[in-house]
A and B are shown apart, each in its own frame.
With several copies, the nearest count.
Chain A
Amino acid sequence: MELTREDLERLYDLLLLTRTLDDRLRRLFRQGRFEGTYFSAIGQEATTVVPTYLLKKDDFIGPAHREIGAMITRGVPIREVVCQVYARKESPDGGKMHPCTFGHPRYHILVPATLMAMQIPVAVGVALGYRNHRRDNLAVTFFGEGATCKGDFHEALNFAGVHKLPVVFICQNNFYAESVPLRLQTAAEDISVRAVAYGFPGVSVDGNDVLKVYEACREAFQRARSGGGPTLIECTTYRWYGHSDIDLAPYRPQEEVEAWKKKDPIPRFKRYLFEEGILTEEKEAEIIRRIAAEIDEAIDYAENSPRPDPEDVLKDVYATAL
């Protein structure tokens, strides 16, 4: 798909919404407003928002743990996103899962198991179903560079390559798996080169450049939909904060963090939009106002929404009455 001016504006809106909500949730966690922990994806928004925007509403998404942007872009009401983080009864997972287990079955986003890479073969299986049913859909799965070190990544990509399935693998390489730097994770020259082992293309793009991510996804999605098989897209990016919000990330040099903050995808995209005359100060101000109101409302809603009943845990262990 070609991006229209409306698309570009909408993308900016979604990036800003993702960023703003993420930042609010971080703070709410620190204020003790919800239990568990919180995984911020601030800094990485372009890598989830842009691919999701390019998908059809019923294309499958298999997320990992930093895909709040995918949920928002897919159109899940913000109320439900916050209910998920707050583990309320109205959460898509009924409060069963940890915050940041972003997903929503009705929106074709799997509520993931949070073992790294585990969702990758599942996405491949979904793509197999699309192929068999001749459905014009594709499956996309997100994961960090850390997950590419796991066996499930290898087995799944290898199989997807054999059958040229309509699946696209999107790796957010943020250079750390928790505290472990890339040099201790792999000696490969980059992550996308791993695709060579599976016989399909791998590309590396600046994941903080909205238009670059757009181009890589457009090409890969087109190829996958037209029977050309999978692509591994590596988006280099950076998480601004700790692995989760209890991690102060002392293992990263401050200069590195600062350098990456300068590469913030949102102002970069904003400059482009201003240059192209797509966005104006007033429009932006209006977007910001709307987002703030929407988020306030959603948080208010979630905070006042009921917690799961204790017995809810017993529900849905089986689909079958046994």
Chain B
Amino acid sequence: MKEVTYIQAINDALHEEMERDPSVIILGEDVGIYGGVFKATYGLLEKFGEERVIDTPIAESMIIGVSVGAALSGLRPVAEIQFADFISPAFDQLVQQAAKLHWRNNGALNVPMTVRCPYGGGVGGGVYHSQSVEAWFQIPGLIVVSPSTPYDAKGLLKAAIRCEDPVLYFEHKKLYRSIKEEVPEEEYIVPIRKARIARKGKDVTLISFGLMLYRSLEAALKLAEEGIEAEVIDLRTLYPMDKETIFDSVGRTRRAVVIHEAPKMGGIGGEIAAMLAEELFWKLDAPVKRIAGLDTPFPFAPTMENYYLPSTEKIVQGVRETCEA
């Protein structure tokens, strides 16, 4: 075992996958010479050279379009979008091109590509360096994952790179250096579309991922003091979701609270709540609560940012209400 940070786990996964498979390439802004603005691609250019580690111009739509083409000609591109916020110029290529290509070609062509996107708040980034944009990509043909731990960061990135479909990999900037854990030295994969029970509990299910997972776990600790035993699910795959794990847990606890950073309206919490309201309705003992970012753009000033993001306190309060209902 080896203790690594979340960002180190990502960097390790990239090194290992590039060593294992010469068709894996990296492209994005500042990923080569600089090793990535967060150093996720550190050391790759030196080891694998300019043909496999490509510093691109500022052109996100091109980065994704070129990745699709590269995937068609036998490469396995791992594109980096410097901040998830900057994926919007590439929305078109992702949603109309990458997502639909396999289907459009009647299954005859695959698009094995990974798009790494540093996302999330709590880092003093302001509106264009903090957004959580996973809800934009609930698009058939795409897969969206987001790890919360170093173990998963490594295992899910490997799974994404080996996947035959386009995978968006959202990595939380605030977790990069704040979370450390031991991970096996030997090879492992974390399967796509499998959520994880991060904490066992019987009274209520908290469903979350990323930074909010940690706030949910903190909330669970506090709630335990009050006698509320919360189960906490770490989603890991955000689209298409692991309904089974969610339904199994909520089926037992009969209460659910979803927590995410993105604005509440139109967030993936809506999809989860809707699934529960549609398919698990008879097992619910309380309203499905959503604790989410505000329905505003993401603010910069710390006073506002703290107010914008779900706090542990807000989660505790929300879960309490759900359990009292």
Residues of A within 8 A of B (CB): 35-36, 60, 62, 87-88, 91-98, 101, 103, 105-106, 110-111, 113-118, 120-133, 135, 139, 146-147, 149-152, 155-156, 158-159, 162-163, 177-181, 184-186, 251, 307-320, 322
Find residues 54-75 in chain B having any chain A CB closer than 8 Å to their own CB: 54-59, 61-62, 64-75
B300 near A: Cβ within 8 Å? yes
User: Which residues from chain A contact B304 at a C-beta distance below 8 Å?
Assistant: 95-96, 308-310, 312-313
User: Which residues from chain A contact B306 at a C-beta distance below 8 Å?
Assistant: 310
A159 touches B66 (CB 8 A): yes
B103 near A: Cβ within 8 Å? yes
User: Which residues from chain B contact A179 at a C-beta distance below 8 Å?
Assistant: 30, 33-34, 55
Complex interface bits, B28-54 against A, C-beta within 8 A gives 1, otherwise 0: 011001100100000000000001101
- C-alpha gap A93/B89 in the complex (Å): 24
Q: Which of B126-134, B224-232, B276-284 contacts A (4 or more CB under 8 A)?
A: B126-134
**CB of B136, distance to nearest CB on chain A (Å):** 15
B128 touches A180 (CB 8 A): no
6 closest A-B pairs by CB? A125-B69, A121-B65, A129-B73, A310-B307, A98-B126, A149-B57
User: Which residues from chain A contact B303 at a C-beta distance below 8 Å?
Assistant: 95, 307-310, 312
B57 touches A316 (CB 8 A): no
* B59, B68, B86 interface centre (most CB from chain A within 10 Å): B59
Residues of B within 8 A of A (CB): 25, 29-30, 33-34, 37, 51-52, 54-59, 61-62, 64-75, 77, 85-86, 88-89, 92-93, 96-97, 100-112, 124-129, 140-141, 143, 163-165, 192-193, 240, 294-297, 299-304, 306-308
A96 touches B59 (CB 8 A): no
User: Which residues from chain A contact B105 at a C-beta distance below 8 Å?
Assistant: 92-93, 103, 105, 110-111
Contact of B106 among A92, A124, A150, A318 (CB under 8 A): A92
Q: What residue in chain B is nearest A60 (Cβ atoms)?
A: B73
Q: What residue in chain A is nearest B66 (Cβ atoms)?
A: A125
User: Which residues from chain A contact B74 at a C-beta distance below 8 Å?
Assistant: 129, 133
B104 touches A113 (CB 8 A): yes
- C-alpha gap A309/B302 in the complex (Å): 10
Contact of A251 among B33, B59, B103 (CB under 8 A): B33
**CB of A232, distance to nearest CB on chain B (Å):** 16
Q: What residue in chain B is nearest A157 (Cβ atoms)?
A: B62
- C-alpha gap A262/B217 in the complex (Å): 56
* B86, B92, B240 interface centre (most CB from chain A within 10 Å): B92
Contact of B301 among A87, A124, A158 (CB under 8 A): A87
Whether A113 touches B62, Cβ cut-off 8 Å, given contacts A98-B300, A308-B301, is no
B297 touches A317 (CB 8 A): yes
User: Which residues from chain A contact B54 at a C-beta distance below 8 Å?
Assistant: 163
Whether A155 touches B164, Cβ cut-off 8 Å, given contacts A128-B69, A316-B102, A317-B296, is no
- C-alpha gap A292/B295 in the complex (Å): 42
B296 touches A314 (CB 8 A): yes
**CB of A254, distance to nearest CB on chain B (Å):** 16
- C-alpha gap A71/B296 in the complex (Å): 27
A125 touches B67 (CB 8 A): yes
Whether A317 touches B141, Cβ cut-off 8 Å, given contacts A106-B108, A178-B34, is yes
B143 touches A322 (CB 8 A): yes
- C-alpha gap A322/B24 in the complex (Å): 22
User: Which residues from chain A contact B59 at a C-beta distance below 8 Å?
Assistant: 149-151, 155, 158-159
- C-alpha gap A60/B303 in the complex (Å): 31
A–B pairs, 23, beta carbons within 8 Å: A87-B300, A94-B107, A96-B301, A97-B127, A103-B105, A111-B104, A111-B106, A113-B100, A121-B69, A127-B73, A146-B57, A150-B89, A155-B65, A181-B33, A184-B56, A184-B57, A307-B302, A308-B304, A312-B301, A313-B299, A313-B308, A319-B165, A322-B143
